[in-house]
Amino acid sequence: MESVIERLKDHLNHAVIGQPDLTQELLIALIANGHVLLEGPPGIAKTTAAKALAGAIDCRFQRIQFTPDLLPGDVTGSDIYQQETGQFTFVAGPIMNEVVLADEINRAPAKVQSALLEAMGENQVTVGNHSYQLPPLFFVIATQNPIEQEGTYPLPEAQLDRFLLKIKLGYPSTESELEVLRLVRQQDQHKTLAATTAAICTPTDILALQQQALSLYMSESVEHYIVQLVMATRHPEHYLGLSPNGESLIDYGASPRATLALDRCARANALLNGRDFVTPDDVRVVALPVLRHRVITSFEAQASGISTDELLTRLINHVPAL
């Protein structure tokens, strides 16, 4: 399995230049059997990363462009009346694939978002009176652009909680952008010679990695550390004190789903690093992308210009590993 992991890492790092954290966190979510929300300005390889990951796995991939006029049936599929038989037949929608890219998820209305998030939570879709199971390997990569908010439908906090990780992306470095420029120019010059890259693993390989991650050893002290990190988001005053007005800096802390997510992601990170046991460092590495979309900062924190990431980073630095 180590060879599968190394091949996946190499494939993603060659396809997505200058975003090593993105490729690592995508693999963490995949092995932890969760879903990912990518947030960043346009043109920084969000869609490229999703396509590269799907191309590395011998599986079915579908991209859904979310728009305000999209209907739930456009995502899940619908019952179509067959005139020849006089019966309704279910025609599967794009969600019935193994890797799904939900592009600009915040541009679709709430009903469409709910249809997708129900599939993520239940691993099935319901159309009419029937439910249809999704594939054993089902991985959603949703993207949203934080710059343009006009005509968007922001995801509610309860729905954001369905995502295992929220990955924030910034612009690449000067060196990385220069490398991207030269690589794209080279690809454009040799389009006629370009060939589709063969898949390097199968869904069965990924499912085996997911089971292997669950079997890693985690000590009781690491379990307590995970719980204490989540508790710190609910009682931040114990570590960060109060605002100048005597108010807490966080209104709502992370849910128990965050505890489970930290456990699974820490295990995946340990596996990606070739270990058969989990350390507090594995938990710290994944804590920010696991927690950033699960807490709501107070008005005092927002008025003071303190971001969620800044608050969480301070909490992570203050909570001791047992």
Q: Which structural domains are found in the chain, ordered by start?
A: 2-169 (3.40.50.300), 216-318 (1.10.8.80)
Copy the structure tokens of residue 216: 């890693």
Indicate the SS3 state at residue 75: helix
* Amino acid, single-letter form, for residue 15: A
Q: Express each pLDDT in 266-289 by its tens digit.
A: 999 999 999 999 999 999 999 999
Segment holding 87, helix H or strand E = strand 87-92
Weakest mean pLDDT among 82-96, 249-263, 276-290 = 82-96
- When pLDDT is cut at 50, 70 and 90, the band that residue 192 belongs to is very low
pLDDT of residue 198: 74
- Mean per-residue pLDDT, 244-265: 90
Copy the structure tokens of residue 166: 């929220």
- When pLDDT is cut at 50, 70 and 90, the band that residue 254 belongs to is very high
When computed from its CA atoms, the radius of gyration of the chain, rounded to whole angstroms, is 21
Checking if the pLDDT of 216 tops 80, the result is: yes
- Mean per-residue pLDDT, 126-144: 91
- When pLDDT is cut at 50, 70 and 90, the band that residue 195 belongs to is very low
pLDDT of residue 18: 79
First to last CA, the chain: 31
Q: Express each pLDDT in 5-64 by its tens digit.
A: 999 999 888 888 878 888 999 999 999 999 999 998 888 778 888 888 988 999 999 999
Segment holding 29, helix H or strand E = helix 20-31
* Amino acid, single-letter form, for residue 304: S
% pLDDT > 90, the chain: 52
- When pLDDT is cut at 50, 70 and 90, the band that residue 138 belongs to is very high
Rounded to two decimals, what is the model's pTM? 0.90
| Contacts of 68 by beta carbon, 8 Å cutoff, 6+ apart | 107, 108, 109, 151, 153
Checking if the pLDDT of 194 tops 80, the result is: no
Other CB atoms within a 10 A radius of the CB of residue 220 amount to 8
